[in-house]
Structure 1
Amino acid sequence: MRLSEEQKAIVKQVGQEVFGNNVQLALFGSRLNDHVKGGDIDILVKSDKPMTGKMIKMLTMTARLQMRLGDQPIDILIYDPETPLSPVYEQALTNGELI
């Protein structure tokens, strides 16, 4: 995983500030491969309960992470029971590593 312990702690803290303590946060995508350079930070926010205000929360988390981690590309997927299961969600749910 190409995130430092400090970066993982920041992602977890910001995710809980924005979405609450009842979500799981996972890293997926190219940052899981230690042999590749670059790539954006792909984060899955998973909740067992339906969420409201997903777009505002996603934008808030993205902005806070960019302020704390630096201006770099960050993609956030939000998955709850109302989210249709598309291939990108399947990949994130299957291959994501909990933060």
Structure 2
Amino acid sequence: MRLTIQEVDVIKATARRIFGSGVRIWLFGSRVDDSKRGGDIDLYLETDEILESAGQAASRFGAELQMQLGEQKIDVLVVDPATQRQKIHEIALSTGICL
């Protein structure tokens, strides 16, 4: 996994602040592969709480991460009980690493 311990800690703390302590977080995509270089940070977040606006919460989370981690591309998928599951959600869960 190509994230530092400090980056993981920031991601987890920010996710818990925005989505609550029960949020589950997976890193997926190229950052999971230690043999690759570069790439954006792809995050899948899952919560048991129904969110008023999952898209708005995902945008806020991504913006806060950029302020804390610096200028880099961060892609965020947020899934709550009301989310209709898509193929990308299955891929994130099956190939990702739970933080």
| Corresponding residue of 2:97 | 97
Q: CA deviation at 1:50?
A: 2.3
**Residue 11 (structure 1) aligned with residue 11 (structure 2):** yes
Any gaps of 5 or more consecutive residues in structure 1? none
Q: CA deviation at 1:49?
A: 3.5
Aligned residues, how many? 99
Give distance in 2, aligned partners of 1:26 and 1:70.
20
Any gaps of 5 or more consecutive residues in structure 2? none
Q: CA deviation at 1:59?
A: 1.0
One-letter amino acid matched to 2:33: N
Q: CA deviation at 1:48?
A: 2.6
Give distance in 1, aligned partners of 2:94 and 2:80.
15
| Corresponding residue of 2:61 | 61
One-letter amino acid matched to 2:47: S
Give distance in 2, aligned partners of 1:57 and 1:83.
13
Q: TM-score, normalised by structure 1?
A: 0.93
8 Å Cα contact 2:19/2:47 also seen in 1: no
Q: TM-score, normalised by structure 2?
A: 0.93
| Corresponding residue of 1:51 | 51
Q: Secondary structure at the residue paired with 1:39? A: coil
Q: Which moved more, 1:48-57 or 1:21-30?
A: 48-57
- Please list the CA deviations of residues 34-79 of structure 1 after superposition, one character each: whole Å capped at 9, or x if unmatched: 0000110000111133222212211111111001111100000011
Q: Secondary structure at the residue paired with 1:42? A: strand
CA RMSD of aligned residues (A): 1.0
